[in-house]
C-alpha cells in the first residue's frame, strides 16, 4: 500500500481492528517498508512508534527539536512519537524497515529482539504477542512447521502468551517480538490503565 505521504510503499503485516485503515480507526499496526531515498516520514499524530532496520547500511532519524537518532544497521530499535516531524537520511544505500505503531492512550507496545545465544526463549506475557522471523528459522511451541524468515505469528491470549517457548534454529536466526496491550488490560501481572 502507498505511504500516507505518498513517497513510498509499505507491506502491512497486521492491523487492529482487521478492517481498519490508515485514514483512522486503528489501534495498532505492524508493517515493513522499503526506504529507497532520504526524506520525510509520514506523520501519525497520537501514535507511538518503534522502528528498526531489517537490512541496509544505516539511517539517521532527524526528529527536529526532539533530536536525532542513528540506526547504524539492522535490528537496532528506535522509539519516537508519530506527532514529530521526522525525516530519515540513508547513510549508504536503501534500507528495509520494520515499524510498530500504537494509538497513545488506547494501546501500548514493547519490542524485544531474540538473538542466538539461548536454545530456548520464553515469549513475553501480553494479550497479543506478534513474532516476526527477521532471519533464519525458529520453532514455536504449538506451531506446526515453525517460522521461516519473513513470516509473522500472532498469539492472542486472555492469560497472556508467557510460557510459550521459541527455539532458534541456527546461529543466524533473529526474532522480533512485539507485545501489545489495550486500555485497561493486564501488563506483566499489574493493572495497565491507559486512559
- Shared domain check, 67 and 132: no
Whether 192 is covered by a domain: the verdict is no
159 within domain boundaries: yes
Q: Which domain holds residue 15?
A: 10-103
Evaluate whether residue 81 is within a structural domain.
Answer: yes
What is residue 193's predicted lDDT score, i.e. its pLDDT? 47
**What's the rounded mean pLDDT across residues 53-65?**
96
For residues 28-53, average pLDDT? 93
Contact 181, 149 (CB under 8 A): no
Give the total number of structural domains in the chain.
2
Dihedral over alpha carbons 129, 132, 136, 140 (to 10 degrees): 30
* Model confidence at 98: pLDDT above 50: yes
Instruction: Report yes or no on 2 lying in a domain.
Output: no
* Domain boundary, last residue among 47, 81, 103: 103
Asked whether the predicted pLDDT for residue 63 surpasses 50, the reply is yes
For residue 7, the model assigns a pLDDT of 60
Contact residues for 133 (Cβ-Cβ < 8 A; gap 6+): 147, 148, 149, 150, 151, 152, 173, 174, 175
* pLDDT tens per residue across span 134-154: 999 988 887 888 899 999 999
pLDDT at 190: 43
pLDDT digits (tens, 9 = 90+) for 71-80: 999 999 999 9
66 and 81 inside one domain:
yes
Greater pLDDT, 37 or 180: 180
Q: Given this model, what pLDDT does residue 191 score? A: 42
Do both 98 and 111 map to the same domain? no
Cell of 8: 513510498
Instruction: Please tell me what DSSP assigns to residue 6.
Output: S
Q: Rounded to a whole number, what is the largest CA-CA distance in the chain? A: 48
Q: Which of 103, 118, 145 is the last residue of a domain?
A: 103
Give domain status of residue 26, yes or no. Answer: yes
Residues 19 and 74 in one domain: yes
Is the domain of 98 the same as that of 160?
Answer: no
- pLDDT, residue 105, reads 95
Average pLDDT for 51-78 = 96
Residue 1 lies in a domain: no
pLDDT confidence bin for 54, thresholds 50/70/90: very high
List of E strands, 9-141: 10-16, 28-35, 39-40, 47-55, 59-62, 68-71, 78-81, 87-90, 95-103, 107-114, 120-122, 128-140
121 vs 86: CA distance, rounded Å: 34
Task: Look over the chain and give the mean of its residue pLDDT values, rounded to a whole number.
Answer: 86
CATH number of the domain to which 37 belongs: 2.60.120.10
Q: Is it the case that residue 68 has pLDDT exceeding 60? A: yes
Same domain, 37 and 80: yes
pLDDT band for position 116 (cuts 50, 70, 90): confident
Q: Please determine, for residue 24, whether its predicted confidence score (pLDDT) is greater than 80.
A: no
- Looking at per-residue confidence, does 161 or 101 come out higher? 101
Last residue of a domain, one of 103, 125, 143: 103
Residues 116 and 93 in one domain: no
CB half-sphere exposure, 172, CA atoms < 13 A: 6
Place of cell 501519525: 44
Q: Are residues 30 and 112 in the same domain?
A: no
* 44 and 114 fall within a common domain: no
Amino acid at each position: 500500500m502507498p505511504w500516507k505521504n505518498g513517497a513510498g510503499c509499505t507491506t502491512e503485516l497486521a492491523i487492529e481492528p482487521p478492517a481498519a485503515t490508515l485514514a483512522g480507526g486503528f489501534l495498532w499496526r505492524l508493517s515493513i517498508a522499503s526506504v529507497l531515498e532520504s526524506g520525510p516520514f509520514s506523520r501519525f499524530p497520537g501514535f507511538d512508534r518503534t522502528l528498526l532496520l531489517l537490512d541496509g547500511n544505516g539511517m539517521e532519524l532527524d526528529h527536529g527539536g526532539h533530536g536525532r537518532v542513528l540506526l547504524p544497521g539492522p535490528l537496532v530499535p528506535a522509539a519516537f512519537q508519530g506527532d514529530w516531524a521526522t525525516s530519515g537520511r540513508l547513510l549508504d544505500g536503501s534500507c528495509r524497515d520494520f515499524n510498530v505503531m500504537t494509538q497513545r492512550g488506547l494501546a501500548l507496545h514493547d519490542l524485544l529482539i531474540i538473538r542466538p545465544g539461548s536454545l530456548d526463549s520464553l515469549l513475553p506475557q501480553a494479550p497479543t504477542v506478534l513474532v516476526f522471523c527477521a532471519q533464519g528459522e525458529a520453532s514455536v511451541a504449538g506451531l506446526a512447521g515453525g517460522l521461516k524468515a519473513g513470516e509473522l505469528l500472532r498469539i492472542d491470549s486472555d492469560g497472556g502468551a508467557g510460557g510459550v517457548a521459541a527455539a532458534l534454529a541456527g546461529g543466524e536466526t533473529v526474532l522480533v517480538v512485539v507485545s501489545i496491550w489495550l486500555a485497561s488490560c493486564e501488563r506483566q501481572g499489574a493493572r495497565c490503565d491507559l486512559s
